[in-house]
Amino acid sequence: MATAAGKPLVCVTGAGGFIGSSLVKELLQRGYRVRGTARNPDRKNAHLHALDGAKERLSLCRADVLDYKSLVAAFRLCEGVFHVACPVSNNDPELMAAAIEGTKNAINAAADMGVQRVVYTSSYGAVHMNPKRSPDEVVDESCWSDLEFCLKTKNFYCFAKTVAEKTAMEEASKRGIHLVVVVPAFTLGETLQPGLHLAMYMLIVSYVKGTRKTYPNAVSGFVDVQDVARAHVLVYETPTAHGRYLCIGEVVHQSEFIQMMIELFPQYQITAKCKDENAPKVKPYKFSTKRLQDLGMKFTPLKKSLHKTVICLQEQGHIPKLPHKSAL
Ligand SMILES: NC(=O)c1ccc[n+]([C@@H]2O[C@H](COP(=O)([O-])OP(=O)(O)OC[C@H]3O[C@@H](n4cnc5c(N)ncnc54)[C@H](OP(=O)(O)O)[C@@H]3O)[C@@H](O)[C@H]2O)c1
């Protein structure tokens, strides 16, 4: 509901992270008043204060998702909450608690503070980890990762995000919160925060710098960070939006991803060798983003997103800036 001061106040948890920062930017561009949370708002967040509209409409507050009272304070007077915060790593000792307990805390704190709508950032790690699914099956919002398989393969991140999303749904239903879930794939694109994101290291920097000598025989889904931010606002602003929304631009085999990088940036020595050369190539699975597209969502092509990502990593000094002979 808009107020005399313009659009309503909303809170973004994990505002200084990769997706959080892009979401804050999108919300400010659309005129919202935004309260962002960070565990240490005075560190690493200058990029948020530099955003257009930040001076007038952005405030940052200290909150840890494991500290219930800090979330209650952060959500005070907010019409909506975007619960984005969660470590993105298999090895973070805080992962399980921050993902699962943190999400439970966020939903309950939102309910206690009379928040009308919560948008939760899940991950396609909560969807695609299921060896029993046929490769011909269309992956859509009805699909869930297999928890036993996640544990067996030591994918603690996928395990945590699957349990966290189910927890969010259960708690929201108990507390009468209108919850909408955005389920992004591997996210690429322009990075606003200065630090190097783990996924960017694994997907791009390690290849460009030649640390990775082979690529896996694997298939991944990708989406641009601006599309992820737009999807969050789209489901927030659509009163009828409910349940899960897969947010995936393209699904490709690693070989195609590598080939795209080589074509766009031939100046880097990127490996063209598969780790598993003798095995049959894993087939990309089919997926549906019809639910999000029906709300008007259009996705950035992967090639364009990859190009933006590499340029941004160069600008930030994470990869060397060799002479650029892009095909775009
Ligand atoms: N990047 C991807 O490819 C991808 C894909 C699908 C889904 N996602 C989901 O998107 C969300 C954001 O990920 P990201 O890629 O933007 O990661 P990121 O850049 O590492 O940001 C993670 C954020 O979570 C916050 N956080 C971690 N533990 C916290 C805690 N105990 N209390 C409060 N805040 C905490 C961090 O805040 P501090 O500033 O306080 O450290 C940081 O802002 C996550 O929920 C992730 O699962 C990411």
Considering only CA atoms, which of 1, 188, 181, 190 is closest in space to residue 83?
181
Express each pLDDT in 188-211 by its tens digit: 999 999 899 999 999 999 999 999
Residue 1: pLDDT over 80? no
Query: Does position 4 have pLDDT exceeding 60, yes or no?
Result: no
Range of the domain at 138: 9-191+222-251+284-300
The gap between the terminal CA atoms of the chain, to the nearest Å, is 42
Partners of 62 in the β-ladder: 38
Measured in angstroms, how far is the CA atom of residue 108 from the centroid of ligand 1?
19
At 324 the pLDDT is 62
pLDDT, position 325: 56
Which residue, among 142, 63, 144, 77, has the nearest Cα to 106 in the 3D structure?
Answer: 63
pLDDT score for 5: 56
Q: Does residue 115 register a pLDDT over 60?
A: yes
Lowest pLDDT segment from 66-70, 122-126, 243-247, 271-275: 271-275
CA of 125 to the centre of ligand 1 (A): 14
Residue 98 is encoded by which pair of tokens?
A: 């921050």
CATH number for the domain that contains residue 122: 3.40.50.720
Each residue of 49-94: pLDDT tens digit?
999 999 999 999 999 999 999 999 999 999 999 999 999 988 888 8
Residue 235: inside a domain: yes
Give the torsion sign (CA, 135, 139, 144, 150): positive
Asked whether residue 296 is domain-assigned, the answer is yes
- Residue of 216, 223, 280, 219 whose CA lies nearest to 247: 223
Atom 39, ligand 1: which residue's CA is nearest? 38
Average per-residue pLDDT for the chain:
94
161 is catalytic: yes
CA 85 / ligand 1 centre spacing (Å): 4
- Total domains in the chain come to 1
Q: Is residue 326, in this structure, part of any structural domain at all?
A: no
Cα distance between residue 84 and residue 185, in whole Å: 14
- Nearest-angstrom CA–CA distance, 249 and 221: 7
Q: What angle do CA 115, 102, 39 make, to 5 degrees?
A: 90
**Whose Cα sits closest to atom 35 in ligand 1?**
85
| Site to substitute for ligand 1 among 13, 18, 48, 318, most atoms within 8 A of C-beta | 18
User: Catalytic one among 152, 161, 174, 286?
Assistant: 161
Ligand 1 atom nearest to 161, measured from its CA: 47
pLDDT above 60 (res 3): no
| Residue 79 counted as domain residue | yes
Question: Do 109 and 98 meet the contact criterion of CB atoms below 8 Å apart?
Answer: no
CA 171 to chain CA mean position, Å: 22
Rounded to 10 deg, the angle between the 102-112 and 68-75 helix axes is: 40
The alpha carbon of 87 and the centre of ligand 1 are apart by a number of angstroms equal to 5
Amino acid at 217: N
